[in-house]
Amino acid sequence: MSKVAIVTGAARGIGAAVARRLASDGFAVALLDLQDAGVKEGAAAITADGGKAIGLVVDVSDTEQVEAAVAKVAEELGPPVVLVNNAGITRDNLLFKMTDGDWDSVIGVHLRGSFLMSRAAQKYMTQQKWGRIVNLSSTSALGNRGQANYSAAKAGLQGFTKTLAIELGKFGVTVNAIAPGFIATEMTAATAERLGVSFEDFKAGAATQIPVGRVGEPEDIAHLVSFFASEGSGFVSGQVVYAAGGPQD
Ligand code: NAP
């Protein structure tokens, strides 16, 4: 079986940490993102550490780009058997101020992007009779003020996960979702900036509400992805794991 993984949104944040972790787990990793510099740097760092990686520029919401990128991964690294649908954006606004563009772009990247990537990658996984798809949901799936678009996308990803788990199970492919709480990345830093608070104060305030007393780090999520991508996780499928430092309602 080929040990090839694709991580979307891998130029920074959670995706970059997941790519590094899968590389250290022995996967050849394709880092996909909108920015050339980020994926090339990430791939070069993995290669410098003795791993195998390539960086590809792709907009996950574009069918042709997705099809071409997944085919290129298969050609350069071998058939992909792990896919981490991590690329994401926020366009927060209260409903009455949310534009058509805010809605369409968020649904487009998270939901359409995960659909296009999964459809393109499943071909290789079902041929190999082994595969792992991991989708990044969020605690916002349970509802979050100012995130009607994002929470709908993240809740949608949970239904998508369960349906793919049902369809692909007989081919040895598991599909699971991780729903992180507060993770310190540029995404949460941008939220702090929008709210007019320093990122340090924002993180400290969030930590007081989290049972384990700290915010999450990208590596916390990478650790869980590593489990879902492992050989031994084959009987766990269609699950949503909240990684939020405490229970969620
Ligand atoms: P991040 O730092 O903003 O990184 C997201 C990456 O995705 C960026 O490099 C971004 O590229 C890329 N991206 C955006 N649109 C794309 C597209 N159409 N095609 C390809 N790549 C695209 O975010 P993060 O915090 O690491 O979040 C990663 C995932 O975890 C997201 O799905 C997010 O919703 C989810 N999540 C995060 C948190 C959190 O607290 N951070 C909590 C729950 C869930 P550009 O920079 O060029 O836009």
Cα dihedral: 78, 18, 110, 92 (round 10)? -160
All residue ranges of the chain with pLDDT < 50 are none
CATH number at residue 114: 3.40.50.720
Out of 27, 115, 124, 150, the active site residue is 150
Tokens linked to 5: 């993984």
Same domain, 135 and 69: yes
Q: Is the CB of 138 under 6 A from ligand 1?
A: yes
Tens digit of pLDDT for each residue in 135-159?
999 999 999 999 999 999 999 999 9
The alpha carbon of 1 and the centre of ligand 1 are apart by a number of angstroms equal to: 29
> Does some domain include residue 110?
yes
Same domain, 34 and 146: yes
Dist. CA 10–CA 33, nearest whole Å: 6
pLDDT number for residue 179: 98
Q: Is the CB of 108 under 6 A from ligand 1?
A: no
Same domain, 209 and 226: no
Domain of 198? Answer: 185-215
> Does some domain include residue 167?
yes
What is the chain's mean pLDDT, rounded? 98
Active site residue 124: no
Q: pTM value?
A: 0.98
Strand pairing category for 240-243 and 4-8: unpaired
Same domain, 158 and 193: no
pLDDT number for residue 249: 79
Dist. CA 112–CA 108, nearest whole Å: 5
> Does some domain include residue 249?
no
Same domain, 64 and 128: yes
Same domain, 190 and 82: no
Q: Is the CB of 69 under 6 A from ligand 1?
A: no
> Does some domain include residue 103?
yes
Same domain, 191 and 91: no
Same domain, 8 and 80: yes
SS3 78: coil
Closest atom of ligand 1 relative to the 183 alpha carbon = 40
Same domain, 58 and 113: yes
pLDDT number for residue 2: 82
Dist. CA 12–CA 164, nearest whole Å: 27
> Does some domain include residue 248?
no
> Does some domain include residue 192?
yes
pLDDT number for residue 1: 74
Same domain, 74 and 177: yes
Q: Closest residue (by CA) to atom 35 of ligand 1?
A: 136
Closest atom of ligand 1 relative to the 150 alpha carbon = 34
> Does some domain include residue 70?
yes
Q: Is the CB of 136 under 6 A from ligand 1?
A: yes
Closest atom of ligand 1 relative to the 60 alpha carbon = 19
> Does some domain include residue 117?
yes
Dist. CA 73–CA 224, nearest whole Å: 24
Q: Is the CB of 158 under 6 A from ligand 1?
A: no
pLDDT number for residue 190: 94
Same domain, 70 and 127: yes
Number of domains the chain is built from: 2
Q: Is the CB of 59 under 6 A from ligand 1?
A: yes
The alpha carbon of 134 and the centre of ligand 1 are apart by a number of angstroms equal to: 14
* Distance between start and end Cα atoms, the chain: 39
Q: Closest residue (by CA) to atom 12 of ligand 1?
A: 9
pLDDT number for residue 127: 98
Closest atom of ligand 1 relative to the 154 alpha carbon = 34
pLDDT number for residue 167: 98
Same domain, 106 and 31: yes
